[in-house]
Homo-oligomer: A and B are copies of this chain.
């Protein structure tokens, strides 16, 4: 008889309107799980190490269909990206002790029945948590959005909103690697300081301290903006549209202000016509084929210190709901991760 252990879980309670709250999730402590897979399983049993908190997860908390990802089921486990260690495997591609990243459950141990979708981690001389961030989905998102969608040229003017977040901090650093001038916006002085002092942005500002976003952008971009990496939507997008240059590009990565509250519509769209702006939405998972190319580019840059990556690591599964909810009020400083175990 295999060992049975307790398996704490975070359960999704019910569909959310507006901003998610911690009470929309529930810590369930009564579950147990066997640490051996049943005979004949083709899956893997993993111990979850790091869980990723990502803004797209808000979409899954609504009943409304955005068409690209299913809603969570009320009463069932929350799932998301994470890093895990294989404890038992019925699949020939995985063996005990392998480290993997991919979709897993918000729980201590998970059985993953279709492990083909997991990525085996080969490089462990970087923090494992990076596979939820710079070496995971947010990393590819920044790479695809900036290099593929925005097609940057040296000397161009780049603006990044939510600039200290999981994706934005990378876009700014990629822009500097391309010889662009890059400004970031963020919501606290601490983050602004990080952008300027640790992440290499040419300038940064706290959007909450600006009465007039248009005026702020005109101050930082007297010649206008060539590339806008769009993470927030709403009023910031409106102000950016007023400041775009001819043939400008907007990578629409997320619109965090609009996940919870559709809010007022976006004015100034006519500037898309008059300035021949291209606004392109994208989802990183359609660009999985570029991951190896990205990985090969970014790994040496991490190792030699060219690229920094700031993480905000919450301790313990209990802290996961607070960490996720905090994304939507900008409580996180850098990529929000939850650590369950370090090995």
Most B-side CB within 10 Å, residue of A246, A264, A275, A280:
A280
Residue of chain B at shortest CB distance from A149: B278
CB contacts under 8 Å to B, within A105-149, are none
Cβ of A6 < 8 Å from any Cβ of B?
A: no
Interface size class of A (residues with CB under 8 A): 35 or more
The verdict on A272 contacting B281 (CB below 8 Å), with A238-B265, A265-B267, A266-B265 known, is: yes
Q: Nearest Cβ in chain B — how far from A305, in angstroms?
A: 33
A282 to B248, CA, bound (A): 11
A281 to B246, CA, bound (A): 10
CB contacts under 8 Å to B, within A21-40, are none
A254 to B271, CA, bound (A): 10
**Which residues on B sit within 8 Å (CB–CB) of A271?**
66, 281
A207 to B182, CA, bound (A): 44
Cβ of A286 < 8 Å from any Cβ of B?
A: yes
CB contacts under 8 Å to B, within A63-98, are 66-68
**Which residues on B sit within 8 Å (CB–CB) of A238?**
265
**Which residues on B sit within 8 Å (CB–CB) of A281?**
271-278
The verdict on A286 contacting B278 (CB below 8 Å), with A233-B269, A255-B269 known, is: no
**Which residues on B sit within 8 Å (CB–CB) of A19?**
none
Cβ of A279 < 8 Å from any Cβ of B?
A: yes
Most B-side CB within 10 Å, residue of A237, A238, A258, A259:
A258
**Which residues on B sit within 8 Å (CB–CB) of A246?**
67-68
Cβ of A171 < 8 Å from any Cβ of B?
A: no
Cβ of A252 < 8 Å from any Cβ of B?
A: yes
Cβ of A213 < 8 Å from any Cβ of B?
A: no
Q: Nearest Cβ in chain B — how far from A225, in angstroms?
A: 13
Contact of A253 among B237, B273, B286 (CB under 8 A): B273
Contact of A264 among B258, B262, B264, B274 (CB under 8 A): B264
Cβ of A298 < 8 Å from any Cβ of B?
A: no
**Which residues on B sit within 8 Å (CB–CB) of A314?**
none
The verdict on A252 contacting B273 (CB below 8 Å), with A265-B267, A278-B280 known, is: yes
Cβ of A203 < 8 Å from any Cβ of B?
A: no
**Which residues on B sit within 8 Å (CB–CB) of A258?**
269-270
A68–B270 touching, CB < 8 Å: no
Beyond A255-B270, A255-B273, A275-B281, 9 additional pairs, beta carbon < 8 A: A67-B274, A68-B275, A252-B273, A262-B268, A264-B267, A265-B265, A266-B266, A273-B282, A277-B280
Interfacial residues, chain A to chain B (CB-CB below 8 A): 59, 66-68, 233, 237-238, 246, 252-255, 258-259, 262, 264-283, 286
A to B CB contacts below 8 Å, 29 in the list: A59-B274, A66-B274, A67-B274, A68-B246, A68-B275, A233-B270, A237-B269, A238-B265, A254-B273, A255-B269, A255-B270, A259-B270, A262-B267, A262-B270, A264-B265, A264-B267, A265-B265, A265-B267, A265-B269, A266-B266, A266-B269, A272-B281, A274-B283, A275-B281, A276-B280, A276-B281, A276-B282, A277-B280, A279-B280
